[in-house]
Amino acid sequence: MIINFFRYYLNLATTKTKYETYRPKKFLGQNFLTDENLAKKIVNSLEITSGDTVVEIGPGKGVLTKYLEPLTDDFFAVELDRHIVEELKQKYRDRINLIHKDFLKVSIEDDIISRRKNKGRIKIIGNIPYNITTEIIFRMTEKRNLISSAVLMMQKEVARRLTSSPGTKDYGILAVLIQLYSVPKILFNVPPEAFFPKPRVVSSVVRFDFPENIHNEIDYGLLCEVVKKSFGKRRKTMRNSLKEFFIEKEIHQDKIEFDFNRRPESLSVEEFVNLTREIAKQI
């Protein structure tokens, strides 16, 4: 047992030495995962089958990539760093479809769907830049009909907020809008020591499942407005939070069957959906 312990840390030290020969770019949010065991655990969490189209966001030095590539013949990797793209091209040749772009600027339809070999919805995985975590997640929800599931590494605090339940202090706009179209679940936490360079925060690996055709009939723009107005005055009742909004939209509150004396953090996602449907009837 002691021998295995020292072998683990020897391998970790060797891996980190390799990463130190490359200077991570802070403006790209690069914190490379160096723990091989965690890399395998993350990849296994996506539950990939041979018929899946898999997209990795930000492969970096390829710690996840090398475990992903043998699992599917339809593998895409999106990377913005030109030097890393060249390294991956040399290593994997035509076994990976490399997309040299910012993921937020990738057209999933044109860059991936039109070029893939397999049918069905795609799966996404990545140790994503923490400074654009919410943008990436919202991008996935926009394209939810094309995505079946995703496994992403992110800051623990963000993971806690987007998976929070009604009645908790972390429950808010992010949780409602993400849980509207997906089922997020924290799988496990990752310490700063598992990265190079070490981030100042603990990370979490989160799995998202996107049920098909869920809430597609709802007016998403209106729901966003209702949710944001509601939590804009978090400690007030829904009656006070939505008062100005109702006046502006000429909505009669008394015609809506709802307890407006409740506070926003007590409402479930479904209750926000139902409230939005009732409001939409008067617009």
Confidence of residue 23 (pLDDT cuts 50, 70, 90): low
* Pair type for strands 183-190 and 203-209: antiparallel
User: Which of 45 and 197 is assigned the larger pLDDT?
Assistant: 45
Of 25-39, 100-114, 216-230, 235-249, least confident by mean pLDDT is 25-39
Sorted by sequence, the CB contacts under 8 Å of residue 267 that are 6+ apart come out as: 166, 230, 238, 275
Asked if domains 2-209 and 220-280 share a fold, the reply is no
Residue whose tokens read 């997906």: 182
Tokens at residue 250, please? Answer: 């000429």
Parallel, antiparallel, or unpaired for β 75-78 and 97-99? parallel
C-alpha 148/C-alpha 108 separation (Å) is 13
**Contact 81/62 with Cβ under 8 angstroms?**
no
Tokens standing for residue 8: 């683990």
Partnered with residue 154 across adjacent β-strands are: 204
Q: Is the dihedral of CA 233, 238, 239, 244 positive or negative?
A: positive
pLDDT at 27: 42
- State pLDDT tens for residues 119-142: 999 999 999 999 999 999 999 999
Helix axes 220-232, 269-280, angle to 10 degrees: 110
Q: pLDDT of 175-192, one tens digit each? A: 999 999 999 999 999 999
CATH 1.10.10.10 fits 220-280, yes or no: no
Q: Which CATH class is domain 2-209?
A: alpha beta
Instruction: Specify burial of residue 83 (Cβ count, 10 A radius: 0-12, 13-18, 19+).
Output: exposed
List the domain boundaries for the chain: 2-209, 220-280
Of the candidates 105, 97, 87, the one whose C-alpha atom is nearest the C-alpha of residue 122 is 97
**C-alpha 16, offset from chain centre:** 26
Does the pLDDT value for residue 212 go beyond 50? yes
Task: Give the model's pLDDT for residue 8.
Answer: 45
* DSSP letter (8 states) at residue 109: I
pLDDT band at 110 (very low <50, low <70, confident <90, very high): very high
pTM score: 0.88
Q: Looking at per-residue confidence, does 14 or 151 come out higher?
A: 151
